[in-house]
């Protein structure tokens, strides 16, 4: 597991030298990780599970920071949103993928419930969402990109992040709607709650 700059990744206690978090990773491979901190623990797990995606996120941050003049741009906003709350929609089923993109949640999660369970997976890699999932609730929503099960999801996600530009490029994804996420979603009316299952504006 290495950064895109070629440094082996290491998890270290947070230093007190004021260095930028992302630039430190890119220049040394050192990831500041607070002890006994669940947020940072899930971040470390994401690095272990999705090393290419995490390395690509870091490399783009490092490339963008010198040009920002102290104000984070839209591309880094997108990366941060995905890093904290990202998920992969893994499916080759064009119909169910289209329903996600169209935000037709009841048609997806209820009308095609068995098809979703057999032909689609959600893989959450955003470490803030993983932490929230310890106490699941209906408002947990990810921002997603779409990958095929036919090849390495990590490599596909890393490649897509290289071309995405703004948060609007990430699809909203109410992950708690996936069959089995919550006991409450065994009821069709669950998907009529517009507070959580928002339609496309």
Q: What is the pLDDT of residues 30-61, one digit of tens each?
A: 999 999 999 999 999 999 999 999 999 999 99
Other C-beta atoms lying within 10 Å of the C-beta of residue 160: 18
Residue boundaries of the structural domains of the chain: 10-72, 82-192
How far apart CA 61 and CA 66 sit, in angstroms, is 9
Residue 62: its pLDDT value, please? 94
**Among 67-76, 140-149, 188-197, which stretch is predicted with the lowest mean pLDDT?**
67-76
Is the per-residue pLDDT at 24 higher than 90?
yes
According to DSSP, the residues that pair with 173 across neighbouring strands are 142
């Amino acid at each position: 597991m290495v950064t895109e700059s070629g440094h082996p990744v290491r998890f270290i206690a947070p230093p007190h030298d004021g260095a930028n978090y992302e630039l430190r990773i890119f220049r040394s491979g050192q990831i500041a990780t607070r002890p006994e901190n669940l947020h940072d623990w899930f971040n470390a797990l994401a690095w272990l599970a999705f090393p290419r995606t995490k390395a690509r996120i870091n490399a783009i941050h490092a490339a963008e920071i010198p040009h920002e003049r102290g104000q984070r741009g839209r591309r880094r906003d997108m990366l941060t949103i995905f890093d904290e709350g990202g998920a992969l929609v893994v499916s080759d089923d064009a119909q169910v993928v289209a329903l996600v993109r169209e935000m037709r949640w009841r048609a997806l999660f209820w009308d095609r419930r068995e098809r979703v369970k057999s032909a689609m997976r959600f893989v959450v890699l955003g470490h803030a969402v993983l932490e929230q999932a310890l106490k699941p609730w209906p408002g947990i929503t990810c921002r997603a990109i779409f990958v095929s099960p036919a090849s390495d999801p990590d490599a596909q996600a890393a490649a897509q992040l290289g071309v995405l530009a703004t948060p609007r490029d990430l699809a909203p994804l109410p992950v708690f709607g996936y069959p089995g996420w919550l006991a409450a979603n065994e009821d069709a009316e669950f998907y009529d709650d517009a507070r959580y299952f928002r339609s496309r504006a």
